[in-house]
Amino acid sequence: MKAPYFWSAGLDPSARDSAPMLRALLTPVSWLYLWGFRRKLARAVPERVSVPVICIGNVTAGGTGKTPVAEAIRARITARGVRAATLSRGHGGREPGPLKVDTARHTFHDVGDEPLLLAATGEAWIGRDRAQGARAMEAAGVGAVLMDDGHQNPSLAKDFTFVVIDAAAPFGNGHVLPKGPLREPAASGLARADAVILMGDGPVPAAALQSGKPVLRARLEATGPAPAGPLVAFAGIGRPEKFLDSLKAAGGDIRDAVPYADHHPYTAGDLNFLRNLAKRDGARLITTSKDHVRLPPDIQPDVLVFPVKAVFEDAAALDALLAPLFKRAEP
C-alpha cells in the first residue's frame, strides 16, 4: 500500500489540511480498528518457548528500518556464540511456513522479500503463525528468535521488545490506521516495549521520552560508495526518500527517481518504463536490496544494488540490554 499524503502531516505541515472530508470519514474506521486491536490484546494468551524471543517492531506502518536493525541485532547475538535466526510473517509469499528460508531454493514469491533478504546474511525463518514458527525454530536448535515485526502480534510471548522509530518521521499525523500511519497509539505501543531504537537524525520524540524507556541511536549506512556515472533510482519501500537520501549522501549522481509502494510487485510495464527512463538519461538503474530480490531473475543482472546496513552509535549499550536474556537462557 502506498501511504496517503495526509499521513505525513507530522513531516510536511502542508499535508495537514489535505483530504479533510476523507479524514473525517476515516475517523470511525480508525476507532473500530483500535477497538478490534485492543480486544485482540486483551483476549490473547501468548505462548512461550524456552529460547529468548526478541521482537524488533514499530508502531507505524512500514518505513522505519526494522529489517536492517533485525539483521544487525542478529549479528550481535551470533557474535556471542548463540545461534540466532529471524522469524518473519513472510508478507507477500505463498508459503505459510514454518520453514527455514533457502536462498538457493526460495524466491520472494515463496517467502516474501524481507525474509529472502535476511537469509542472504544469516539464518531466517518464516511462519504466518508466529508461535508455531518459534516452536519449529526451537526444535531445530535455534538459540534465539528475532521477530522481524510482530509488536502488535500477541500470539508469541516476547522476552524483549525494541520499537524502531524513524527520527525524521516518527508518527506521521498522529492518527491510527487508516486515518494515519499508527498501528496503535504511540504511548500504548511504547509502554509495552523495553527499549526504543531511533533511526537517523532528529530529536527524540516526546512520546519516547515520556515512556522512560532506554533510547538507542542507529542509522542506515551504505556498505560502500555509490556506483559512478548517472543513475536512475527506484524503490518500493516504506519511505523511498530514505533510499534516495542515502544514495545521494554516498555520492550518487541521480538523474531521475521513481517511488513505488512498499513491497511493490514489479510488472513488465514497470520494468519497460524504468529501462526507457534510464536509456533516455544515459543512466543505469539502481535500487535497494529489498527491491532487487523482487525483480525477475533475467532482469536482476541489469540493475545495480545499493545495500545499506544499520549501525548503532553505542553497540555496547545494545549488548548490555541483550546480555541478561542469555544469562537466563544458560543451563
Q: What is the pLDDT of residues 15-58, one digit of tens each?
A: 455 556 666 788 999 999 999 999 999 999 999 999 999 999 99
Q: Which pLDDT does position 15 carry in this prediction?
A: 47
Tell whether domain 53-215+320-329 is in CATH 3.30.750.
Answer: no
Q: Across all residues in the chain, what is the average pLDDT?
A: 91
pTM (2 d.p.): 0.91
Closest CA to 180 of 66, 61, 25: 61
Domain boundaries, the chain: 53-215+320-329, 224-306
28-32, 101-105, 149-153, 260-264: least confidently modelled range: 260-264
Listed range (11-20, 65-74, 120-129, 223-232) with the worst mean pLDDT: 11-20
- Dihedral through CA 235, CA 98, CA 183, CA 171, nearest 10? -40
Quick check: helix, strand or coil at residue 22? helix
Q: Look at residue 239 in the predicted model and tell me its pLDDT.
A: 83
Q: Which residue has the higher pLDDT, 240 or 62?
A: 240
pLDDT class for 240, splitting at 50, 70, 90?
confident
Q: Region 190-197: what's the mean pLDDT?
A: 98
Q: What's the pLDDT score for residue 97?
A: 92
Using alpha carbons, list the distances in angstroms from residue 222 to 5, 72, 244, 309: 28, 14, 11, 6
**Alpha carbon distance 233, 246 (integer Å):** 11
Name the band, by pLDDT with cuts 50, 70 and 90, for residue 328.
low
Beta pairing partners, 54: 146, 160
User: What band does 61 get if pLDDT is binned at 50, 70 and 90?
Assistant: confident
pLDDT over 90 at 13, yes or no: no
State the pLDDT at residue 304.
Answer: 97
268-286 per-position pLDDT tens digit: 999 999 999 999 999 999 9
pLDDT, residue 1, reads: 56
